[in-house]
């Protein structure tokens, strides 16, 4: 039997969410379309129209345009360095990780992906699998075409691509699963709040100002968790950190948004990031192979009511960069209250140049 970590998203005008599913499926050497799974060891394994593109840490198998593959390769190279920097494992892969990128969704589904999947990592087949979503770094490049869309068919394709997940973000998310499951080579249940939450944290990683930056709000998650905080329907944090995959998936949309928000809080909040709760939790889980032991070791003395208040203030103060709307006033007021709670402000009492938030420099973590 094979364990698969899937990151599906529902393609809808109203709903787009990432979820990760660990399921048992029959182990097979080839996909339903006949394409060999995992590593390709000879030229005979390479289907017609496909290429193999190699880097130090990854081997890419793809029939998508080469420029797309190279963009993903560069992004994953940088993401891997950040995985190692923020969550060092002390382990070095003996062989490159395998990444399959299909040129479109139909071929991805024909390979055997779950119908709702946007990408997935297969622990048994040792491969990360996804497809060209038509959206790169927030810009729609459907079917390799840029500029003004021509014809109804292309306009529809662009509309769908605008609502698709970002190609770079999807693979940065799945790359984390690949790294985490390599680091903790175990068949025990993984703590979904940090496994998925960290994946969603890296989804927002982008190349800006000649460096890769993390810490931007996740535009697929922020609105959801803010609505649940306003309504008082969020999952108690002390419960969330104990969830296995089954519990996490019972309310996937809420759990994924909240998992991302808690990870962002632990990694970015000026007070809490110094305590390294998340890094300690991941390290303990890898050492003990137990969610319960990790929770007891790291969170046994946690003042959850205070943490929850600080977390809510932090999340409600966030907004997606470049997006304006009716929530601006609420976000500004929430930010002001968050600054007051910290006593002196997020930036030592001084606003960064331009009055906005400072960008995260991963080199200074």
78 versus 157: the higher-pLDDT residue is: 78
Do 117 and 19 sit in the same domain of this protein?
yes
Question: Please, what is the Cα angle at 288 between 286 and 290, to 5 degrees?
Answer: 95
Residue 365: per-residue pLDDT: 37
* Predicted pLDDT at 145: 44
pTM: predicted TM-score of the whole model, two decimal places: 0.78
Average pLDDT over residues 45-61: 97
pLDDT beyond 90 at 220: no
Rounded to whole angstroms, the Cα distance separating 319 from 98 reads: 35
Q: What is the pLDDT of residues 103-156, one digit of tens each?
A: 999 999 999 998 878 899 998 899 999 999 988 876 776 544 444 556 777 666
Strand partners, 122: 4, 127
In a domain, 163, yes or no: yes
Query: Domain for residue 100, yes or no?
Result: yes
Q: Residue 278: inside a domain, yes or no? A: yes
Say which residues have a Cβ less than 8 Å from residue 255's Cβ, sequence separation at least 6.
Answer: 192, 193, 196, 235, 240, 243, 248, 249
pLDDT at site 356: 34
Report yes or no on 190 lying in a domain: no
As a whole number of angstroms, the distance between CA 264 and CA 278 comes to: 10
pLDDT > 80? residue 161: no
State the Cα–Cα distance between residues 216 and 359, nearest whole angstrom.
8
Q: Please determine, for residue 160, whether its predicted confidence score (pLDDT) is greater than 70.
A: no
**pLDDT above 70 coverage of the chain, percent:** 74
Name which residue leads in pLDDT, 243 or 210: 243
Our count of domains for the chain comes to: 2
Answer whether residue 231 is part of any domain.
yes
Residue 111 lies in a domain: yes
Statement to judge: residues 156 and 265 lie in one domain: no
The CB density around residue 365, as the number of other CB atoms within 10 Å, is 12
Q: What is the pLDDT of residue 170?
A: 94
d(CA 30, CA 33): 8
On the question of pLDDT at 277 being above 50, the answer is yes
DSSP code string of 206-266:
EEETTEEE-----TTTHHHHHHHHHHT-SPPHHHHTT--HHHHHTTHHHHHHHHHHHHHHH
The predicted-structure confidence for 280-324, as pLDDT tens digits, reads as follows 999 999 999 999 999 999 999 999 999 999 999 999 999 876 554
Query: Looking at the domain assignment, is residue 189 inside a domain?
Result: no
The last residue of a domain, from among 183, 216, 238: 183
- Let me know: does 4 contact 123? Beta carbons within 8 Å: yes
Q: Using the predicted structure, report yes or no on whether residue 351 has a pLDDT greater than 70.
A: no
With a cut of 80, say whether residue 335 has pLDDT above it: no
Q: Where are the alpha helices (DSSP H) in 44-133?
A: 66-86, 105-111
Q: Are residues 350 and 201 in the same domain?
A: yes
Q: Is residue 188 part of a domain?
A: no
Quick one: 9 and 157 in the same domain?
yes
What's the pLDDT score for residue 349? 26
The helix, strand and coil proportions of the chain, stated in percent and rounded to the nearest 5, come to 45, 15, 40
Residue 89 banded pLDDT, cuts 50, 70, 90: confident
* Angle ∠(205,357,75) on CA atoms, nearest 5: 10
Same domain, 172 and 199: no
Whether 116 and 58 map to the same domain: the answer is yes
Lowest-confidence segment of 165-169, 316-320, 344-348 by average pLDDT:
344-348
**Are both 34 and 100 inside the same structural domain?**
yes
Q: What's the whole-number mean pLDDT along residues 54-81?
A: 96
- Do 142 and 162 fall within a single domain? yes
d(CA 334, CA 340): 10
Which H or E run includes 179?
A: helix 167-183
Residue with the bigger pLDDT between 42 and 352: it is 42
**73 and 135 inside one domain:** yes
Least confident of 75-84, 133-142, 356-365: 356-365
Does residue 262 share a domain with residue 152?
Answer: no
137-143 LR contacts (CB < 8 Å, sep 24+): 137/166, 137/168, 137/206, 137/207, 138/166
List the CATH number of the domain containing 179. Answer: 3.40.30.160
pLDDT of residue 253: 92
Q: Are residues 130 and 254 in the same domain?
A: no
Tell me: do 157 and 301 sit in the same domain.
Answer: no
Residue 217 lies in domain: 195-364
| Domain stops at, among 183, 204, 225 | 183
Q: Tally Cβ neighbours within 10 Å of residue 328.
A: 11
Q: Which of 123, 151, 183 is the last residue of a domain?
A: 183
Q: CA-to-CA distance for 117 and 62, rounded, in angstroms? A: 18
How high does pLDDT run on average in the chain? 80
Do 301 and 346 touch, CB atoms closer than 8 A?
A: no
pLDDT reading at 68 higher than 80: yes
Distance CA 219, CA 251 (A): 19
């Amino acid at each position: 039997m094979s364990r698969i970590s899937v990151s599906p998203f529902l393609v809808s005008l109203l709903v787009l969410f990432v979820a990760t599913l660990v399921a048992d499926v029959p182990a097979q050497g080839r996909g339903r379309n006949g394409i060999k799974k995992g590593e390709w060891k000879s030229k005979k394994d390479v289907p017609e129209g496909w290429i193999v593109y190699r880097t130090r840490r990854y081997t890419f198998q793809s029939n998508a345009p080469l420029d797309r593959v190279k963009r993903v390769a560069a992004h994953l190279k940088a993401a891997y360095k950040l995985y190692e920097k923020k969550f060092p494992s002390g382990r070095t892969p003996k062989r490159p990780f395998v990444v399959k990128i299909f040129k479109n969704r139909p071929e991805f589904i024909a390979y055997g992906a779950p119908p709702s999947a946007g990408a997935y990592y297969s622990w048994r087949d040792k491969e990360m699998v996804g497809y060209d979503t038509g959206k790169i770094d927030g810009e729609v490049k459907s079917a390799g075409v840029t500029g003004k869309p021509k014809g109804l068919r292309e306009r529809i394709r662009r509309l769908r691509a605008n609502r698709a997940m970002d190609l770079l973000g999807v693979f940065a998310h799945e790359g984390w699963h690949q790294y985490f499951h390599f680091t903790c080579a175990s068949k025990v249940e993984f703590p979904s709040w940090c496994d998925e939450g960290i994946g969603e944290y890296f989804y927002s990683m982008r190349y800006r100002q000649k460096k890769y930056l993390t810490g931007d709000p996740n535009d697929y998650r922020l609105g959801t968790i803010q609505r649940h905080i306003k309504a008082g329907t969020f999952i108690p944090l002390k419960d969330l950190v104990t969830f296995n995959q089954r519990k996490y998936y019972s309310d996937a949309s809420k759990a994924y948004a909240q998992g991302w928000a808690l990870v962002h809080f632990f990694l970015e909040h000026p007070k809490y990031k110094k305590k390294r709760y998340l890094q300690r939790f991941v390290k303990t889980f890898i050492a003990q192979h137990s969610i319960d032991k990790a929770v007891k070791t790291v969170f046994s003395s946690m003042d959850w009511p205070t943490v929850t208040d600080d977390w809510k203030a932090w999340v409600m103060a966030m907004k997606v960069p470049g997006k304006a709307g009716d929530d601006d006033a609420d976000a500004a007021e929430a930010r002001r209250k968050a600054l007051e709670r910290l006593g002196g402000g997020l930036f030592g009492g001084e606003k960064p140049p331009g009055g906005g938030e400072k960008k995260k420099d991963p080199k200074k973590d």
